[in-house]
Chain A
Amino acid sequence: MTPGERKSLIKGVAFISPWILGFLAFNLYPLIASIWFSLCDYSVLSQPVFLGTQNYVDLWRDPVFWKALQNTVVFAAVAIPLSTFLSIGLAVLLNQPIAGQGIYRTIFFLPSLVPAISLAILWQWMLNGPMGLVNNLLRPFLDLLNLAFHIQLKAPDWLNDPNFALWGLILTGLWGTGQAVVIYLAGLQDVPAELYEAAELDGTSAWQRFVHITLPMLSPVIFFNVLMSIIGALQTFAVPYILTNGGDGPGRSLLFLATYIYQNAFDYWNMGYASALALCLFLLIIGLSLVTVRYGERKVHYSGK
């Protein structure tokens, strides 16, 4: 290394050092500490007592952990595809050259500006069984169905019925698709118009153009959004926590891994067990992200390549 290069290196390190310090103090240290705490009985105020793998054995045998994991995975598996299809569909519609396009875009983006806490409180009312807006909209359709088919369908009690609570949360999640729509819209603007022109000259239908041009050209954006959604969905905490007033929901139907970690760490003072849970969540996120990246590499079409 020449003196000039060394000088540049020192300058570079000096300028990046605030981030390095932040990373060491607020990311790496907590990660290493939580690995250690996960092997201990630790309650924050007393010294950790080494337990070996006991917390992991307990976790394996803990039905509440499995319930929280199941809820987390089911939520991610349903909410991510649903919100992806919905936001791509909305983005394609909002990309059509119609009057008031900007106004429609703003309207669809606005809900994503609502903070998670306000959103949860709002949906607590919207999903209320007897009085909520969602059921008031549903009831006329259910009445029609009941009349037509002589059945007795009732509007669900979203937040009190263990069968519907998770679906209520998924519905709540769709409220915030505006952010993804904006990213898809930006991606759609990037698709070269000449590709559509050439396809039109070849006599393709709108659907064929969507499947063979739009989707491949949009695939890097879809990949990014899906990856971010997986990470976000697996860490779901604020909305179900508020929806259930800090509880687990009926029959623990709204207990997620992140909530269970929080309960163990800050309600039950089982920081060691919470660290073991957090590490499991970390590995789950890393694992699913790696699978997504590996799969994405094969399916994503980069126009620059």
Chain B
Amino acid sequence: MKFLLTPSAALRFLGLLGFLFLASCTPKEDSRISGRLVLEYWEKWTGFEREAMARVVDDFNNSQDKIFVRFLSVSRVDQKMMLATAGGVPPDVVGLWAINLPSYAENNALMPLDYLAKDAGIRQEDYLPVFWKLCSYRGFLWALPSTPSVTALHWNKKMFREAGLDPEQPPRTIAELETFNAKLTRKNADGSLAQIGHMPQEPGWWMHDFPSWFGGASWDGSTKLLLDAQPNRHFFTWLESYPKRFGGPAMFELRGGFGNFASPDNPFFNGKVAMIMQGVWMNNFIKKYAPAGFEYGAAAFPEETEHPGAPLTIAETDILVIPAGARHPKEAMQFIAFVAQQKNTEKLCLGQHKISPLRKVSDEFMNHHSHPYLKVFQSLANSSRAQPTLSLPTFKEYANDMITYVNLVLLGRMGADEARVTMLARQQKALDAKVDRWNKVAPVRVALWEKEIHP
């Protein structure tokens, strides 16, 4: 049999393949469209939230003729940005969550924005303090807020009326919350729960922030977790009281019957849970999925000890960052600064039905906003006791462990103290490892960042 492909031809073919492979690995030339530099912008949003940002991107692209922003919705954008940055081909701008900042900054995945932001006319005093704080870590500015949120108690007014409670008077303390809870909870004939006033695991998204409502925090901001401190003890004891009062398996059985969050079967809409902690975005889902005539209220979530006049809230925000190694940081900052202009920020936040991160809010924004409790959320964000969500370099491990141990306590399978102590041992060790690593690399990193912010 005669081979059509000789060995030397085969080798030449392989050489060509190798060349093509290497060529695809080498850095690309700047991408241009009609002479305009193309910036790659990755965002997490889809649906109407994406559309709101797309309109701002269009405005930017129409406002000048040097830069063209290519806007791409990317699922699990935080992981993909990490891999792209590690591979040396990060996008120019990325929309992350503020909780990503500590670990991304410590791992040198981000570019400090201090100098670029100052150069672009961005001023700290233009922002509500809590949102600026969320964008800063270890003394550097890493991001600017895009669309922020604060948490509040949402309650179902119809369920309040049916339970003989005043639908305009939400609970103000944890003790009151539990009194209301007892009145709002109904059981079936077989003893299972038909509805409940409140359960901490619904939706359970802020377990790591809950110690704040007991007057404390999860860590000291530098090296020590505070799970042993009194507020955390109170928080876990409060959790432990739930299976004793309602039955752990009964609560989880009730929860097993809940539908998807973004559906008419959301337990808050269909009367299974009367009081929940939620963010400003909840109104979007209420408008879309709740039954006609659904009545709800929103106010500061009750604390263990009442603080009249200065409500407590936990703030979080979506952010815009420039990854380390991005090829066009100045142009990227130009785009971020455009988004940060009051007119454009308000357009974006209006489109996503969220609050504004800026101190100054226009009348137009307030008048055109469709959220019935916009003023409540805006004043919570303005409160002197508004706190940033947990900003920990081991956030994901901590939050994951918190859900595991909280669920074990709520199921009645682990005592409050055992859960707290076990979690503290695990998580303090994880934090120590990160702090240790940070201490090793900090001098070099900080020097590098200092150089980047004072070029």
Residues of A within 8 A of B (CB): 7, 10-11, 14-15, 17-18, 41, 43-46, 49, 63-64, 128-131, 157, 159-162, 247-248, 250-252, 263, 266-269
Contacts and interface: CB of A to CB of B under 8 A. Distances in A.
Closest 10 CB pairs of A and B: A129-B256, A14-B10, A130-B257, A160-B252, A10-B7, A45-B107, A44-B86, A267-B396, A43-B107, A268-B397
A157 B324 CA distance: 46
Contact of B411 (A49, A251, A269): A251
Contacts of A131: 256-257
Contacts of A250: 252, 407-408, 411
Contact of B437 (A49, A162, A247): A49
Contact of B407 (A17, A46, A64, A251): A251
A49 B17 CA distance: 35
A157 B403 contact: no
Contacts of B430: 268
B221 interface: no
Interface string B424-435: 001000100100
Contacts of B79: 266-267
A268 to B, nearest CB: 5
Contacts of A15: 10
Contacts of A64: 426
A157 B252 contact: yes
Given A49-B440, A268-B397, A269-B107, A248 B10 contact: no
Nearest to B9: A14
Contacts of B397: 267-268
B249 A268 contact: no
A8 B101 CA distance: 58
B256 A159 contact: yes
A115 to B, nearest CB: 17
Contacts of A45: 82, 85-86, 107-109, 324
Interface residues of B, number: 39
Given A45-B82, A46-B108, A267-B396, A14 B11 contact: yes
Contacts of A248: 400, 404
Contact of A17 (B14, B394, B400, B404): B14
Contacts of B82: 44-45, 266, 269
Interface of B: 3, 7, 10-11, 14, 17, 79, 82-83, 85-86, 103, 107-109, 249, 252-257, 324, 394, 396-397, 400, 403-404, 407-408, 411, 413, 426, 430, 433, 437, 440-441
A41 B14 contact: no
A161 B249 contact: yes
7 contacts: A14-B11, A130-B253, A130-B256, A251-B407, A267-B397, A267-B400, A268-B430
B368 to A, nearest CB: 36
B7 A7 contact: yes
B256 A160 contact: yes
Contacts, number: 88
A15 B85 CA distance: 35
A247 B10 contact: no
B34 to A, nearest CB: 35
Contacts of B255: 160
Contacts of A252: 404
Given A269-B103, A269-B107, A41 B400 contact: no
Nearest to B407: A250
B404 A11 contact: no
A252 B423 CA distance: 13
B206 to A, nearest CB: 16
B413 A162 contact: yes
B320 to A, nearest CB: 19
Contact of A251 (B10, B257, B408): B408
A64 B255 CA distance: 26
Given A14-B14, A128-B257, A46 B404 contact: no
Contacts of A268: 394, 396-397, 430
Contacts of A263: 400
A18 B18 CA distance: 10
Which of A10, A130, A263, A269 has most chain B Cβ within 10 Å? A269
A16 to B, nearest CB: 11
A131 to B, nearest CB: 6
Nearest to B110: A45
B259 to A, nearest CB: 9
A131 B256 CA distance: 8
A182 to B, nearest CB: 34
Contacts of A247: 400, 403
B400 A160 contact: no
B322 to A, nearest CB: 15
Given A11-B10, A252-B404, A269-B107, A41 B437 contact: yes
A75 B283 CA distance: 43
Contacts of B252: 129, 157, 160-161, 250
Nearest to B440: A49
Contacts of A266: 79, 82
Nearest to A162: B413
Contacts of A10: 7
B154 to A, nearest CB: 22
A121 B278 CA distance: 26
A161 to B, nearest CB: 7
A78 to B, nearest CB: 22
A46 B441 contact: yes
Nearest to A64: B426
Contacts of A41: 433, 437
A109 B209 CA distance: 48
B66 to A, nearest CB: 31
A185 to B, nearest CB: 37
Nearest to B411: A250
Nearest to A54: B433
Contacts of B103: 269
Contacts of B14: 14, 17-18
A2 to B, nearest CB: 15
Contacts of B257: 128-131
A251 B413 contact: yes
B11 A46 contact: no
Contacts of A17: 14
Nearest to B433: A41
Contacts of A63: 426
B73 to A, nearest CB: 19
Contacts of B83: 44
A40 to B, nearest CB: 11
A45 B407 CA distance: 33
Contacts of B394: 268
Contact of B3 (A11, A43, A161): A11
B400 to A, nearest CB: 7
